[in-house]
Amino acid sequence: MSNTNTYIAERIFTGHKMLQQHAIVVENDMINEIIPANKINSDSEIIDLKDAIIAPAFIDVQLYGAHKRLLSVYPDATSVKAIYDYSKAGGASHCMPTVSTNTYEVFFKCVDAVKDYWKQNGKGILGLHVEGPWISKEKRGAHNADWIFSPAIEQAKELLDYGKDIIKMITVAPEVVSEEIIDLIHSYNIVVSAGHTNATYEQATESFNKITTATHLYNAMSGLQHRAPNMAGAIFDHDTIFCSIVPDGYHVDFAAIRIAKKIMGKRLFAITDAVTETNEGYYKHILEGDKYTSNGILSGSALTMNKCAKNFVEHCNIGVQEALRMCSLYPAHVMRKENELGLIETGRKANMVVLNNDLDVLQTITAE
């Protein structure tokens, strides 16, 4: 039996353009057509969202826990569901639970958690993001130095084999892993992201022959210096490299985001890097205002994806449409999902966020 809903809103942002007084006809979770509001077929159920904005649902490719369930401490399907619920409340239809540098035992349990969530028909999880342990000790941030190492092929294969089809992104320091390791990761259809790295400009540039994404710009990477451009400078200087950023005003000053945006354009995208309060495990995250610390080091944000968009608009001189793309279309591209997510188009699944004029989430519409 067909289930058809027609959503009307003052503004509909497709990901390409803003439409005024239009409607989206959704049939069995698929976008059937986008039409002027005065051409609606009255047979469908009309959902009038009035002066709201309908936009492509957001995508968060890096967050570690939610509702006091850090994935590395509670590696189970319940934690994955908590992460999804947190993301959905912030306007994201899809997200990637993330686990920081840890033991292989913990990584394996996190892989199992995502697998179990999928077996329970859980939705909205793109896969697992493994951040470390093949990173720089000098740029480890809050990561535990004792678990960081440069892998041999067999050590890499052990993790990749266990996480096959579950791990979808790995953050590595390119100066810590060989080209052979990067090729191996790619062979498992995993996105390789350069992060927690002390790479020189030359090392970074060489790695960009194989790597096209980087993790949280400025944070835990060698910074731009006038005589040593380093990783941050290399990201600015190479127009094939996308990079995430944590726009909470603590991880990165808003002025630094404005500067990066002018240089990088569509290559810059948002992550929340969100953690949750926990007193267990190595990473004991403590909420301090609007940010978290672990062992006295800045360790994560309290962001949601809609708050990322708000901060881009309110503090970074980024227009609403571009801020929305930075939270949806661009991360979809990074995860090779641009043909499925990040746009509102006929023939696509109806993954949409309904926002008020302040970019607060009124509703997240997700395809079953």
**Per-residue pLDDT reduced to its tens digit, 103-137:** 999 999 999 999 999 999 999 999 999 999 999 99
Q: Which fold has domain 62-334?
A: TIM Barrel (3.20.20)
Domain with CATH 2.30.40.10 in the chain: 4-55+343-365
pLDDT above 80 (res 276): yes
- How confident is residue 42, by pLDDT bands cut at 50, 70 and 90? low
Q: Is 126 helix (H, G, I), strand (E, B) or coil?
A: coil
- How confident is residue 154, by pLDDT bands cut at 50, 70 and 90? very high
- How confident is residue 301, by pLDDT bands cut at 50, 70 and 90? very high
pLDDT averaged over every residue in the chain: 96
pLDDT above 80 (res 2): no
- Joined tokens for residue 89: 């409340």
Q: What is the mean pLDDT of residues 80-98?
A: 98
Q: Is 320 helix (H, G, I), strand (E, B) or coil?
A: helix
Which of 117, 141, 120, 144 is CA-nearest to residue 128? 117
The upper half-sphere exposure of residue 293, i.e. CA atoms within 13 Å in the direction of its Cβ, equals 7
As annotated, the active-site residues are 273
Q: What is the mean pLDDT of residues 265-293?
A: 93
Can you spell out the DSSP letters for 233-291?
A: HHHHH-TT-EEEE--SSSSS-HHHHHHHHHHHGGGEEE---B-----SSS--EEEETTE
- Angle made by CA atoms 97, 237, 246, in degrees to the nearest 5: 30
pLDDT above 70 (res 1): no
Cα first-last separation, the chain = 15
pLDDT above 80 (res 141): yes
pLDDT of 296: 87
Residue 125 has what DSSP assignment?
A: B
pLDDT above 90 (res 362): yes
Domain with CATH 3.20.20.140 in the chain: 62-334
The CATH architecture that domain 4-55+343-365 belongs to is: Roll (2.30)
Beta strands, E only, the chain? 4-13, 18-27, 30-36, 45-48, 53-56, 58-63, 65-66, 69-70, 92-100, 128-131, 167-172, 191-194, 213-214, 242-245, 268-270, 285-288, 291-294, 297-301, 352-355, 361-365
Length of the chain: 368
Q: What is the mean pLDDT of residues 342-353?
A: 97
Cis peptide before 36 (omega within 30 of 0): no
For residue 337, what are the contacts with CB-CB under 8 A and spacing of at least 6? Answer: 59, 94, 126
- Strands 128-131, 167-172: pairing kind: parallel
Q: What are phi and psi of 220, to 5 degrees?
A: 55, 45
Q: What is the mean pLDDT of residues 251-274?
A: 98
